[in-house]
Structure 1
Amino acid sequence: MTASGSGDAGPAAAPGLWQQRVPGPQLPGLVTGITLMFGLWLILAPVWWTYGTTGGGFDARLSDVLAGVAVIALAIARLARPVRLITATLAAVLLGGWLVIAPFLLDYGFGADSTSATVNDVVVGVNLVGLALLGYLDAQSRLEAGGAPR
């Protein structure tokens, strides 16, 4: 918006990939809503399921709760205001990637007690990455078409 309040700032250079903002929710809030549910699930799953003692390394419960809090924070940030498209996608892909590699990197093991933690992390991580990429592709196609996001 200009000083005159007309809203016409004149011709502007197209924003770079890092500055691009997608106004409004992507996939009518579906990406954000499902992301929020993944975060809640990550926090509640260790309570509902028996994670047991996982390997000799890091505690799977703590990893899932911390990842769940981070996923919820990302979803709330997306709800609160339009987040940079690349930033939101990158954050979700990193969190999902962490969930996929955490069972192997932190040695959850494959015992009867730790299998549920391993499967849960890998399944949620893959779905989180897929959802983030789906939301990115949808929003990017709408930006390129010049249409406002739905």
Structure 2
Amino acid sequence: ADVNYIEGVNFMGVDASDENSNDDVVVKGEFHIPVNVPVQFVMRSIDIIHSAYMPHFRAQMNCVPGLKTQFNFTPTITTKEMKEITQNDEFEYVLLCNKICGAAHYNMQMNIVVDSKEDYEKWLAEQKTFAE
């Protein structure tokens, strides 16, 4: 992704001329990751400092204009398992912006769904790719 390509429906900045982006899956509001698989978050900001805060994973990373920031972690408990552990059917892992960054700050949030390998593969197979 490249912030220079962010416009219209391309809100993630996917480079359409890069053939490696053809299989990228872009989903609003939530993203899925498989359990027990290392995940790398790479973040950029186009405008001001934001902060990607994932309280359940004890992770936070600033997103700074002009810089690429990143961190790695491995989720070890699926969302389904965490719902059982917490005895809360409405439990969701979340990603929030943790910087007061402007008028739309309240809306900068999404769910992170940690799936079993089988559920992740099933979810992925049902998604459209950027090229589609």
Q: Compute the TM-score of the two structures, normalised by the length of structure 2.
A: 0.28
User: Which structure features the higher share of helix residues?
Assistant: 1
Larger radius of gyration: 1
